[in-house]
Amino acid sequence: MKAIICTKYGPPDVLQFQEAPKPTPKGDEVLVKIYAASVNMYDWHLLTADIFLVRLMGGGLLKPKKPIPGVDIAGRIEAVGRNTKQFKPGDEVFGDISACDHGGFAEYVAVPERVLALKPSNLSFEEAAAIPMAAITALQGLRDQGKIQAGQKVLINGASGGVGAFAVQLAKSFGAEVTAVCSTRNLDLARKLGADRVIDYTKEDFTHNGQTYDLILAVNGYHPLSAYKRALTPQGIYVMVGGTPAQIFQAMLLGSWQSEKGGKKLGGFTAHANQQDLVVLKELVEAGKVVPVIDKRYSLHDAPEALRYLGAGHARGKVVITVEHHDQT
């Protein structure tokens, strides 16, 4: 099979498009014929090791431990292991395979069935592949860490990127009043996604306008923690789910220190993929409450360019990789 191979840390140029062994599913695994994958900042961090903890937390100290990158996939079950119970050949599925050995930037992958769910019936493979990691991060950040409630005032900082676009829609589905912060060119997109109010960060600093929020989800956490704290209501919660390495460390290390006992809470958050939340997202998508936003599509061969584009930091919604099969059925 064709796959993208990564044998050392570095820029997208280190990635190679070449032949790789087609995997065989083990007892609890299924073999997925991949038709689409999507690119996340998670993939960028693993490729470049710009956050040194990537090397210490299973990524590999001197070189990537997992040679085929890619964690968001959508495809069709081709074969199943002898102990599987949930899926059968022909089922269309999607999932976040970051808890496995990755392998999404390839024609096939074998993964435990527990990391997959049936693909939303109203989406293409490309649209389904755009969902898992970004949408799960937004969902768990708002619901689990942010304790979102109907009627709350919620601000999404970085509302037009992969996680942010889902966060705006999910916050609205929870019944919140949503303020979206993004650049000038993305204001209309944020409104289309359902934001009640939009703020152009090139013209206005929301941390200085006197408004306060019950929940702030920062996908691009470029303000200091003290500024976010100022923009919270007395019982408000700040959740950082993305940003530069320095911003991530600041939220993780100083968030609890700046939090108040019985008051404002600040901190970072790391999502964990699970099948149950994939099903939740599937139902929201099929109900029309959440729609994936795709900025650009690339072929598998051009996956390095997809990562380069994402790494530049200007993607609107998701960047998707389409996997073509010459023996496509």
Give residue-wise pLDDT tens across range 95-148.
999 988 789 999 999 999 999 999 999 999 999 999 999 999 999 999 999 999
Task: Report the distance separating Cα 36 and Cα 320, nearest Å.
Answer: 7
Residue 71 has pLDDT above 50, yes or no: yes
Range 133-268: architecture per CATH = 3-Layer(aba) Sandwich (3.40)
253: confidence class by pLDDT, cuts 50, 70, 90: low
- What's the pLDDT tens digit per position in 134-181? 999 999 999 999 999 999 999 999 999 999 999 999 999 999 999 999
pLDDT of 328 reads 45
Q: Where are the domains of the chain?
A: 2-131+292-322, 133-268
- What's the pLDDT tens digit per position in 283-302? 999 999 999 999 999 999 99
Q: Which residue has the higher pLDDT, 56 or 120?
A: 120
Residue 55 has pLDDT above 60, yes or no: no
At the top level of CATH, the class of 2-131+292-322 is alpha beta
What is residue 23's DSSP assignment? P
Residue 329 has pLDDT above 50, yes or no: no
Domains 2-131+292-322 and 133-268 share a fold: no
- What's the pLDDT tens digit per position in 80-94? 999 999 999 999 999
For the chain, the distance separating the N- and C-terminal CA atoms, rounded to the nearest angstrom, is 16
Alpha helices by DSSP H, 25-99: 41-48, 53-54
Cβ atoms within 10 A of the Cβ of 270, count? 11
| CB-based contacts of 246-254 (< 8 A; 24+ apart in sequence) | 247/221, 247/222, 248/51, 248/221, 250/224, 250/225, 251/221, 251/225, 254/225
Provide the residue type at 227 as one letter. A
Angle at 114 between CA 112 and CA 115, to 5 degrees: 80
Strands, DSSP E only, in 2-159?
2-5, 16-19, 29-39, 72-80, 92-96, 108-112, 116-118, 153-157
- What's the pLDDT tens digit per position in 176-233? 999 999 999 999 999 999 999 999 999 999 999 999 999 999 997 678 888 999 999 9
Taking CA atoms, 52 is separated from 33, 60, 267, in Å, by: 33, 10, 20
Task: Report the distance separating Cα 187 and Cα 177, nearest Å.
Answer: 16
Q: Which residue has the higher pLDDT, 7 or 57?
A: 7
What is residue 55's DSSP assignment? I
